[in-house]
Structure 1
């Protein structure tokens, strides 16, 4: 998982946000190493509380995921030898992914309910070469140990062992056969996602976020919503994954949670980058970016493209007020096999999610209702239509009568929020909030 971190200072005279994870782990590495060598039960209770201190607002509201550690979990506790055997000693041939925190391997285990039945799993192994990721690992256990939903990847269990072989921290998930949405949007896959599949993915992702925001007696802010964290199962159902950066939402009437600014370039809400104030609608912004990614097949930031096309929002803005221009930004790999009406409606939802002021963005339940309407019309009411080189007079007149251009212009208030990227000594800066990014060709 490629992430960035911004040192967030005072903004508009407000209080400073909490220190970043990297700063804190660097100054307390000795204590952290002792923590990692504790027994599982002690490690779980003590360090989950430590994670939460990053998310406490200045008004003292407890916005920590530590509370989740106290809830009943149905997770299975694996031994290291079990997962080692399941993955054939973590064979490179079975590796399906690799991130900053370690590798992900495909494996097979036997069901606890029926020993004759086998279950495909994905095993994430935390790297033993450093301490990076241990707090994200705990957060993942705390969140997915108690939160279940059809559109969230299911965590089956964990392994936490300390012995002569060292510190072992692993997670076992249900295996997602069709990889991530980002994989399928890239040109590496010869067969692109169909339009109907894309709108269903948009609906499934909205369902997952809605459950996190509004479906429980507490709120969870995902904080790293992006196409690579949306996985597809054997039936192409989309599920959110990778909850290492998740935080509990504000409580006691508070409007936000103050945190270190972390996430992924191109998806993080601009007000969060500038202030460190994390809100539910920070995820809504990220979802809007994802909708444009589905529509265009392009990443929010792609430095391999021509300079004027590297930032997705800047590239799409001039094309949104004209029907013929709008057709040119739709993923060319679809070869015209889509509904122009549903594509425009989906862009309209994206624009609402990308409103400049966070309070004017819709809640995820409202977003879900809009997207479900698009899915219903795409699958039952509207046939897939090819791209037309010229719109008919009747069509153009309809859009004019509906005030299409006026509505889009009103929704494009987010145009002033596009961050300016400046290269300085191998790093990138966004305004006055700087960050370094090692792999400049990846998001």
Structure 2
């Protein structure tokens, strides 16, 4: 019995070994001697993808396909026999005698083949971790592929796959939709790359144009409103001039992330990424969001605006070709000119085009069939004007000058972004526009005069009828009390009337409620010490950010009016722009320009978003913040101490340029003031200088300290407060100081910034400057003017830094010495307001 047991154990050990020896090199490969039968599979080298037989729920049809391994949701990215399913489980995938990869049924009929001619018999098919199935010649030492599934995709666009067009042969690698989610046979839609004059992607519906992305400008397709170069995971469009081939491809910045684009049966392409927490795919980049995205929705010379009740309108100087159809919202016939162009009347010499001009349309999706003309913007208008067939021009910095002739098709008004489109019209249309402006201005001036006269008349009547109290009640709030309160604590007292005189627009509550969809949760961008911030779109299509004072906020009227007064006086590229405010009943709101990339902390402290911050972008952000602070301290009309510089108060625009925001805690200094004291210590734990946190003293050097903390956070990719109660480190400042003393300061650097743009000298200089900024004593910290010079290497020899504040356990001891400290500090980024410093 014992010998039998030993024999069984040995057999169990030997058989798998034999299997591995026989098939160890073929677990990801199909060879002439190894085929797979239903339900067998092969698996890519690192187990990312499987190839085998599958069927959809509620169907017995069997397909051969490739799908993701190790996730619970069946996600097929390629199907071989998509138009000829197997009726049963008798299928086989093998290398045929002529060297092709084939799918056979039980009767050995070929349902699908790689269909390559003039092959040799010694071939094999290898499944790669990219999801590409490659047929290759085993006798070729170079291992060049003969056929690839990536060159014959179905509805999935996976990383490293190329969508391409060969101009010489006319061959295309294009996506084609499925008929339905459970039927992978050819659907109605196809997606391909059209080189044209300027490459763009086209979606066809039964071979008719259905959607176009607009031209490629080197970073994005300019006709895709929500395509942002920051989130493109390395999208690139390459023109191979020698082979006359164009191809579009992308690679994920985060290699561990599962993501791909799906071309669905409705002709929409959606970016999907695997959400481990939800255990499902999440989508975040759809195109074709509204009817205006459909190609040529408004016909020739018609413009589509999804924000209007009737989405189609004729361009200025044009009228509907068929008024009756247009009124029935059948816009396909488009529009025609009301006045012929001047160059159509003149046929010779220098007189051509003299009577024509251009109307400027802002934030537009450019028409189809653009012709490239010149890289110089200043030549666009002249070139179009000299060519009688040219009806429009536009300029994009990444493309150059674009011209159009013939009918203008597929024009769309965007709510943001887009380019300026110049439409050629007769001079009479321009004169009519000027006259219209004069009439409008005259009417506006008349209304203003009548309004002012009415205001003074009503004020006089109210005064003499003893209705003063009633007038007070009509005001949004008591201005007198507000100004009295606002004047406290070294704040310059200026009321809202003065701000209005500085032409700061006042929004009404209904306007902002409509813009934010009644402050719907889906429009919420975030929540700060002031209250929630919402994204909104005004009636003219302008995107805004609305900061609404929360009743539960520790901040109130003083901080609100402070921000209005301070920021309304400031203009700098690295400061967020205040567009206006709303003070109505109990509501107090600030309206800012919209920043599409939200705040810096969303990039710095998120493992996925951090991938998009290479060193070049990080240094640009550091430089921008330093220039903004220098402007506040020295270069603006007012000397301003921000008092709450932190990652969440640095907003990022479309190109990741930083803008300092949130001036509710800022203080204006007089010409001779260098520092001030306050009993109301306001700021954020981890960013406050020691003299401010402990004694209520603040100055320019308080902001310098906060900037130093932020600089070290950018370099390291870690929050200062992430070291809280850490047994190995004291704070980010303490950790940086420890590495500095150990001559290992590069150990502080986040490895994500180690890319081709990484400059070791530059990053060492930044860390050195950061440590100088966070020194314990204010007088030893450099002013922002010196910080900017240091960062730009204008000051070469930097002094050695001294020990930073809040190192070792000092910070915990200081906090514990404060009364009721558990209510004063937290380890998150919530601003601290209104506590008494020692």
Regarding TM over 0.5, the answer is: yes
In structure 1, the residue matched to 2:602 is: 183
In structure 1, the residue matched to 2:486 is: 51
In structure 2, the residue matched to 1:386 is: none
Which structure 2 residues correspond to residues 105-120 of structure 1 after superposition, within 5 A?
Answer: 105-110=534-539, 117-120=540-543
Cα offset for 1:52? 3.4
Which structure 2 residues correspond to residues 141-290 of structure 1 after superposition, within 5 A?
Answer: 141-162=564-585, 167-190=586-609, 191-249=611-669, 251-253=671-673, 255-290=675-710
Cα offset for 1:258? 3.3
Question: Cα–Cα, structure 1 residues 67 and 129, in superposed 2: closer, same or farther, change >3 Å?
Answer: closer
Aligned counterparts of 2:474 and 2:785: Cα–Cα separation in 1 = 41
Alignment match of 2:810 (pick from 404, 420, 442): 420
String of CA shifts for 1:64-116, please: whole Å, max 9, x gaps.
Answer: 13258646533211110000000111111111101343211111114xxxxxx
8 A Cα contact 2:733 2:807, kept in partner: no
Cα offset for 1:290? 1.0
Cα offset for 1:339? 1.5
TM-score by structure 2 length?
A: 0.39
Residues 152-161 or 257-266, more deviating = 257-266
* Equivalent position SS for 1:307: coil
Question: Cα–Cα, structure 1 residues 196 and 136, in superposed 2: closer, same or farther, change >3 Å?
Answer: same
Cα offset for 1:256? 2.9
* Equivalent position SS for 1:137: helix
1:103 aligns with 2:522: no
* Equivalent position SS for 2:728: helix
The gaps in structure 1 that reach 5 residues or longer are 1-35, 56-62, 111-116, 378-401
8 A Cα contact 1:98 1:104, kept in partner: yes
1:343 aligns with 2:763: yes
In structure 2, the residue matched to 1:89 is: 518
* Equivalent position SS for 1:184: helix
8 A Cα contact 1:122 1:172, kept in partner: yes
1:317 aligns with 2:737: yes
Aligned counterparts of 2:635 and 2:485: Cα–Cα separation in 1 = 26
Cα offset for 1:120? 0.6
Cα offset for 1:245? 0.7
Cα offset for 1:271? 1.2
* Equivalent position SS for 2:580: strand
**RMSD across aligned positions (CA):** 3.0
Task: Report which of the two has the higher share of helix.
Answer: 1
String of CA shifts for 1:292-340, please: whole Å, max 9, x gaps.
Answer: 11111111111578432361011111212455x2222101223455211
Alignment match of 1:331 (pick from 732, 740, 750): 750
Question: Cα–Cα, structure 1 residues 403 and 135, in superposed 2: closer, same or farther, change >3 Å?
Answer: closer
Question: Cα–Cα, structure 1 residues 349 and 108, in superposed 2: closer, same or farther, change >3 Å?
Answer: same
* Equivalent position SS for 1:256: strand
1:64 aligns with 2:491: yes
In structure 2, the residue matched to 1:39 is: 475
String of CA shifts for 1:412-441, please: whole Å, max 9, x gaps.
Answer: 232576663549xxxx92544663348845
8 A Cα contact 2:562 2:664, kept in partner: yes
Task: Report which of the two has the higher share of strand.
Answer: 2
In structure 2, the residue matched to 1:139 is: 562
Question: Cα–Cα, structure 1 residues 38 and 220, in superposed 2: closer, same or farther, change >3 Å?
Answer: farther
Question: Cα–Cα, structure 1 residues 74 and 90, in superposed 2: closer, same or farther, change >3 Å?
Answer: same
* Equivalent position SS for 1:345: helix
The gaps in structure 2 that reach 5 residues or longer are 1-471, 830-838
8 A Cα contact 1:250 1:256, kept in partner: no
Query: Which is greater in Rg?
Result: 2
Question: Cα–Cα, structure 1 residues 130 and 268, in superposed 2: closer, same or farther, change >3 Å?
Answer: closer
Cα offset for 1:373? 3.5
Question: Cα–Cα, structure 1 residues 434 and 273, in superposed 2: closer, same or farther, change >3 Å?
Answer: farther
Aligned counterparts of 1:128 and 1:310: Cα–Cα separation in 2 = 36
Aligned counterparts of 1:197 and 1:422: Cα–Cα separation in 2 = 34
Aligned counterparts of 1:278 and 1:159: Cα–Cα separation in 2 = 30
Question: Cα–Cα, structure 1 residues 131 and 368, in superposed 2: closer, same or farther, change >3 Å?
Answer: closer
Aligned counterparts of 2:584 and 2:806: Cα–Cα separation in 1 = 50
Higher relative contact order (CA 8 A, sep 6+): 1
* Equivalent position SS for 2:768: helix
Question: Cα–Cα, structure 1 residues 169 and 68, in superposed 2: closer, same or farther, change >3 Å?
Answer: closer
Residues 249-258 or 341-350, more deviating = 249-258
TM-score by structure 1 length?
A: 0.72
8 A Cα contact 2:543 2:594, kept in partner: yes
Residues 78-87 or 314-323, more deviating = 314-323
Alignment match of 2:504 (pick from 55, 75, 78): 75
Which structure 2 residues correspond to residues 420-439 of structure 1 after superposition, within 5 A?
Answer: 420-422=810-812, 429-432=815-818, 435-437=821-823
